[in-house]
Amino acid sequence: HISGRHLRVLVVNGKTVAVAERLPAHVIGDGKSNLRQLIEATNNDPRRGEGHEKELTKIIVDPVVLMVLARSGLTFDYIPAPGETVFLRQNANLSTGGTACDVTAAVSANIKDVAERAARAIGLDVAGVDLVVPDFQASASEVTVIEVNAAPGLRMHIAPSTGRSQPVADAILDYLFPPGSKGRIPLVSVTGTNGKTTTVRLIAHILAGTGSRVGFTSTDGVYIDGKCVWSGDNAGYRGTRLLLEDSTVEAAVLETARGGLIRDGLAYDWADVGVITNISEDHLGQYGIDSLEDLAQVKSLVIEAIKKTGYAVLSADDPLVSLLAQRAHCQVIYFSMRADNPLVQQHLLSGGRALFVQDDIIVAQEGNSRRRVAKVGQLPVTLRGRAKHNLANALAATAAVWSLGVPWGLIRRGLHTFYSDLNTNPGRTNLLSVGDIQVLVDYGHNVASYRSTLELARALCPRRLLGVIGVPGDRPDELVQRVGQTAAGFDHIYIKEDEDKRGRAAGEIAELLFEGARSAGVSTDRIRIILREDEALKAALAESQSGDLVVVFYEQLERVLSVIHAAKQEHSGFQQKVSG
């Protein structure tokens, strides 16, 4: 047994920043109250709470307390004399009702030196060293090291029972982020109804071309330096935290979805750039979001959380998005598919920045100064200019990296090397071939995305258009039916359902889509209901003819690609037999 005074020394970066003397849970007599009453009175101190919720923890009467009292020959009926201290435990942990007194200025340099050497021996940059000393002026040889904590609590130093509060948090932060150091990385947050994932990937691709180690979050995973470190939908708080906690990441691009904003808020304080791609009907009726105005209100949080020196990137073609400029406390860059957009022209007259398309060329302009960025038809992501929605995504991404000061040469190189294929942009406007039949794979799930995909499909000039369609089960009935109406643009429709019904009965979503298509004038002989996604795609491919285009709006990408791969192999085998 080592007797003496119990100290906790906080060492940060090899230096002592605070020392607290810790006392075990105890009560002080008043000559009238017994131990049980004194414990109750002590616990009524407003500074005491359950666990770590307050600066002190309530004293809990447990077998340990009974044992300590028994060793002293005491019971709860004992009435201590006035000023008499009765200890209830042997350990001095705050978590069991102990108290702490700040003694940073009172202890000797010898004591502090022992604690610092103990932290160095363990190899910790932040350590809580527990010592027992005979007195505060003890020599090094009289100090006993009891324990070294790798994750020390700070409340005994920040809010001691008696003595001065020590600025220990400042010491830790100054060590992690020394004065004068940046301590931050470029951060871009992207939200909107459609186009978020492609925009995020394109921004990350361009930033990677600067030589930075880039991380991004999306609905299909968290990626660092091109590698998926966590798969699944991570377009929210959880994925952002994982990314920002990785010290190797030098630039972060975040897909910030509506659901995560409502449930958890933002996982960062300020962004350098915030992007809103567009706002259209989707997810209405969820989390109290009943209108487009409600949806815009939620997504505006991304704009409000931008540094004053940063940029908000907004679509000038979307009235709801452009109205959000009044929420911005930073500079604004507008992007538009039209050079004559009135909002763009007004913004430029005031010296602002804008990106727009003029004569099939992307133009960047600030005030009266303009530059040609790239020809639309030469950007792979636009499929020779036919994918108008991806052109809008490219404008948004270009505006974002322009805001970060990326050189134009690197921006152009990034735009020209970002492909709409399974390697660069999987699951987003991927045009594949099965013999002389084309298959367009996309993740559309609302009216606006169906319209843009149909516009692209028609621009590809197929013989016939076959659509494999579906909508997540958590969408309102009216929105599902409107998707069915929009799908009337296909020559033949194959209705499937997601495996995750999201509370719907099997066949319920399919029936709503069917009703929508019929209300738009589609005859029943042009519609088939095949609930399984893979079977629906197989049927569409089996019934397609040379020159047809099959469009599939998938739920699970790997499942759809597996069907397409099998169809390719079957076609290849058939061709070999024919040629043989």
Length of the chain: 580
The neighbour count for residue 136, using CB atoms within 10 Å, is 15
Q: In a 3-state reduction of DSSP, which class is residue 38?
A: helix
By the 10 Å C-beta count (0-12 exposed, 13-18 middle, 19+ buried), 103 is classed as buried
pLDDT of residue 283: 60
Q: Which of 356, 232, 230, 332 is nearest to 276 (CA)?
A: 332
* Domain ranges, ordered by start, for the chain: 5-176, 187-416, 430-579
**Which of left, alpha, beta for 472 (phi over 0: left; psi -120 to 50: alpha)?**
beta
Q: What does DSSP say about strands 85-87 and 26-28: parallel, antiparallel, or unpaired?
A: antiparallel
Top CATH class of 5-176 equals alpha beta
Scanning 50-195, the segments in alpha helix (DSSP H) are 63-71, 109-122, 155-158, 168-176
Write the DSSP string, 314-355: EETT-HHHHHGGGG-SSEEEEEES-TT-HHHHHHHHTT-EEE
Q: In a 3-state reduction of DSSP, which class is residue 64?
A: helix
What is 430-579's CATH number? 3.90.190.20
* DSSP category for residue 14: T
* DSSP category for residue 286: B
* DSSP category for residue 128: E
pLDDT one digit per residue (tens) for the chain, 580 residues:
788 999 999 999 999 999 999 988 999 999 999 999 999 999 999 989 888 888 888 999 999 999 999 999 999 999 999 999 999 998 888 888 888 999 999 999 999 999 999 999 999 999 999 999 999 999 999 999 999 999 998 989 998 989 999 999 999 999 988 887 777 899 999 998 899 999 999 999 999 999 999 999 999 999 999 999 999 888 889 999 999 999 899 999 999 987 777 778 899 999 999 999 988 776 666 666 667 787 778 888 899 999 999 999 999 999 888 788 888 999 999 999 999 999 999 999 999 999 999 999 999 999 999 999 999 999 999 999 999 999 999 999 999 999 999 999 999 999 999 999 999 999 999 999 999 999 999 998 899 999 999 999 999 999 999 999 999 998 889 999 999 999 999 999 999 999 999 889 999 999 999 999 999 999 999 999 999 999 999 999 999 999 999 999 999 999 999 999 999 998 876 565 555 5
Beta-carbon contacts of 82 under 8 Å, excluding residues fewer than 6 positions away, are: 29, 30, 31
Q: Which CATH number fits domain 187-416: 3.40.1190.10, 3.30.365.10, 3.40.50.300, 2.40.220.10?
A: 3.40.1190.10
Q: Which of 345, 300, 352, 344 is nearest to 326 (CA)?
A: 300
Please state, in angstroms and rounded to a whole number, the distance separating the CA atoms of residues 553 and 537: 10
Q: What does DSSP say about strands 227-231 and 221-224: parallel, antiparallel, or unpaired?
A: antiparallel
